Amino acid sequence: MSYNLLKGKKGIIFGALNEDSIAWKVAEVAHREGAEFILTNSPVALRMGQMDELAKSTGSEVVLADVTSMEDLENLFNIASKKYGKIDFILHSVGMSINVRKKIHYTEANYDFYHKAIDISALSFHRVMKIAKEKDIMNEWGSIVALSFIAAQMAIPGYNDMSDAKALLESIARTFGYYYGKDKNVRVNTVSQSPTKTTAGSGIKGFGELYGFAEKKSPLGNAPALDCANYCVMMFSDFTRYVTMQNLFHDGGFSSTGLTEAIMEEN
Ligand SMILES: NC(=O)c1ccc[n+]([C@@H]2O[C@H](COP(=O)([O-])OP(=O)(O)OC[C@H]3O[C@@H](n4cnc5c(N)ncnc54)[C@H](O)[C@@H]3O)[C@@H](O)[C@H]2O)c1
């Protein structure tokens, strides 16, 4: 059922790789709610994933852009500007760490990989907003959301250097959000999502255990990707116009729960 929450709104969605991706679900819900958007991802993702399928079902154009390349991002925003004039929302759903992939212990990090993780997973958010602001592509009251994880606030072994990338991502949302709000009435937030079975999620060492623990520690259970998409779409809608510079937990209550009976019984 559609509520037409995004009727007439235009946007850019980063990070839909396959049907498990959080961005994939956001694209489907945004489409259902009346939005038009460009789907973007790295050239590798186009070869590995199923983006063409999503583009077809949502009537979207695919524009390839590596988020570490200013040139690619400039090109993406030029295409969006030509196509739509101004846009109303951006979803940043991008993350990658080679230290995580190669299961290199956090205390033994490879710094080239560390830089890459920070560049792709956090600095890219700044880069995207810098270009959007310079090109003045966002409509007033537009909304920008990036996806985060609670390892930005708490030590979670296995999340590795992505913890630091997420802490930086959330800080960028606050600081850029301050300037974007003041200058253009554009809001910027991060949504901190439960562990979710996706390509990026499953790469984390001990993901199965983390998923199971979070499920037990969350009064509502882990939040599914589709519900995360509904939440992101609400953040793009006009019903959240004064929410900005926040890290919003979408985690079934995990972040506010210290201990549960289920966990006590096990010990
Ligand atoms: N899965 C989880 O448990 C979980 C929980 C909280 C937050 N998140 C965050 O959600 C976001 C989306 O991840 P997901 O779980 O849907 O996994 P995913 O693997 O489906 O999405 C990650 C995306 O990042 C893209 N990407 C990687 N390098 C890129 C580059 N250089 N340029 C452009 N795109 C690039 C990938 O192609 C992919 O589409 C990430 O920021 C992730 O950290 C995930």
Give a yes or no: residue 3 inside a domain: no
Given pLDDT bands bounded at 50, 70 and 90, which one contains residue 121? very high
More confident residue, 200 or 113: 113
Which CATH number fits the domain that encloses residue 212? Answer: 3.40.50.720
The response to whether residue 199 sits with its C-beta less than 6 Å from ligand 1 reads yes
CA of 139 to the centre of ligand 1 (A): 26
**Residue to mutate (ligand 1; options 41, 51, 68, 93; most atoms within 8 A of CB):** 93
Contacts of 90 (CB under 8 A, 6+ apart): 11, 12, 13, 14, 128, 129, 132, 138, 142, 143, 144, 145
Nearest CA to ligand 1 atom 28: 96
Nearest CA to ligand 1 atom 37: 45
Given pLDDT bands bounded at 50, 70 and 90, which one contains residue 205? confident
Range of the domain at 131: 10-265
Give a yes or no: residue 4 inside a domain: no
Neighbour order of strands in the sheet with 61-64: 61-64, 36-41, 10-14, 87-92, 138-148, 187-193, 247-250
Over 80: is that where the pLDDT of 49 sits?
no
pLDDT digits (tens, 9 = 90+) for 238-249: 999 999 999 999
Give a yes or no: residue 54 inside a domain: yes
Give a yes or no: residue 69 inside a domain: yes
Give a yes or no: residue 73 inside a domain: yes
Alpha carbon distance 162, 241 (integer Å): 30
Task: Quote the tokens at residue 108.
Answer: 């033994």
Query: Once rounded to an integer, what is the mean pLDDT over residues 63-83?
Result: 98
Query: Once rounded to an integer, what is the mean pLDDT over residues 62-86?
Result: 98
Q: Give me the helices (H) in the chain, please.
A: 22-32, 43-48, 51-58, 70-84, 98-101, 111-118, 124-134, 162-184, 199-202, 207-217, 225-236, 261-265
Task: Quote the tokens at residue 69.
Answer: 């390349």
Over 90: is that where the pLDDT of 33 sits?
yes
Looking from the CA of residue 68, the nearest atom of ligand 1 is 31
Give a yes or no: residue 112 inside a domain: yes
Bridge partners, 91 (sequence order): 13, 145
The response to whether residue 100 sits with its C-beta less than 6 Å from ligand 1 reads no
The response to whether residue 41 sits with its C-beta less than 6 Å from ligand 1 reads yes
* Domains contained in the chain, number: 1
Query: Once rounded to an integer, what is the mean pLDDT over residues 97-102?
Result: 96
Amino acid at 8: G
Query: Once rounded to an integer, what is the mean pLDDT over residues 111-137?
Result: 98
- The C-alpha R_g of the chain, in whole angstroms, comes to 18
pLDDT for 48 equals 84
The response to whether residue 195 sits with its C-beta less than 6 Å from ligand 1 reads yes
pLDDT digits (tens, 9 = 90+) for 143-166: 999 999 999 999 999 999 999 999
CA of 145 to the centre of ligand 1 (A): 13
Quote the mean pLDDT of the chain.
96
Bridge partners, 90 (sequence order): 12, 144
Amino acid at 237: S
Give a yes or no: residue 146 inside a domain: yes
Give a yes or no: residue 1 inside a domain: no
pLDDT for 47 equals 85
The response to whether residue 93 sits with its C-beta less than 6 Å from ligand 1 reads yes
